[in-house]
Amino acid sequence: MELPASAIVTKFSGEDELNNPVPVVEDASVLSYSQPLSFDVDQLDGMELTEAKFLGGTLVLEVQHSLEGVVYLDYDFPSVMTPSGPLNVPMTLPAATPNVPGFQTVSVDLSESVFDFTGASGNETNTVLAAVSAVSGPINNGVGSYLIEASDSVVVTMRFQSLAVERVAGYFGQI
């Protein structure tokens, strides 16, 4: 069985948080956020997944941002176990310019990965725990700092593709 391809898009911005610009220097935290990710499995006729092990598949992680410096981003998925341990995706994002956003994409092989879909409480379904953090890297603008404005953003798109299921647990609706 193969799960349908799915995508989750998350936008982090200062729109509701920043009243004034925030100065950023090298090694400063620019993003720290933990969130559960809910998978829309409506196309699976009401399945409520609690666990799945995948024979194969790919996570494509795309990040676009408007920050003026290099950004070291780290995406952790503590409820996704790979053969080498919990899934962690580090990325180095190039600096954005006024006309071109910083952009990076990474593909991760999910072969033999086990997803725990029970969330933080252990009683949820279709939910994976995730945390993202980002630190400012080198700033090469001659000033050594830049400002994060309310209009700045980091947009993360996660695409799960060709997820071939070895085993799955949960509620599968009326059979």
In a domain, residue 69? The reply is: yes
What is the rounded CA–CA span in Å between residue 98 and residue 73? 21
In a domain, residue 174? The reply is: no
Position 17 confidence tier, pLDDT thresholds 50, 70, 90: confident
In a domain, residue 173? The reply is: no
Domain of residue 126, CATH code: 2.60.120
Q: Which amino acid is at 160?
A: F
Q: What is the share, in percent, of the chain residues with pLDDT greater than 70?
A: 94
In a domain, residue 122? The reply is: yes
161 bridge partner residues: 58
In a domain, residue 149? The reply is: yes
Whether the predicted pLDDT of 33 surpasses 90: no
In a domain, residue 175? The reply is: no
Supply the pLDDT for residue 78: 94
Tell me the two tokens of residue 113: 């990965």
Total of domains in the chain: 1
Burial class of 166 by CB neighbour count within 10 A (0 to 12, 13 to 18, 19+): middle
| C-alpha closest to that of 65 among 16, 123, 11, 130 | 11
Whether the predicted pLDDT of 3 surpasses 90: no
The torsion defined by the Cα of 160, 162, 168 and 173, in degrees rounded to 10, comes to 80
Range of the domain at 55: 2-14+22-168
In a domain, residue 39? The reply is: yes
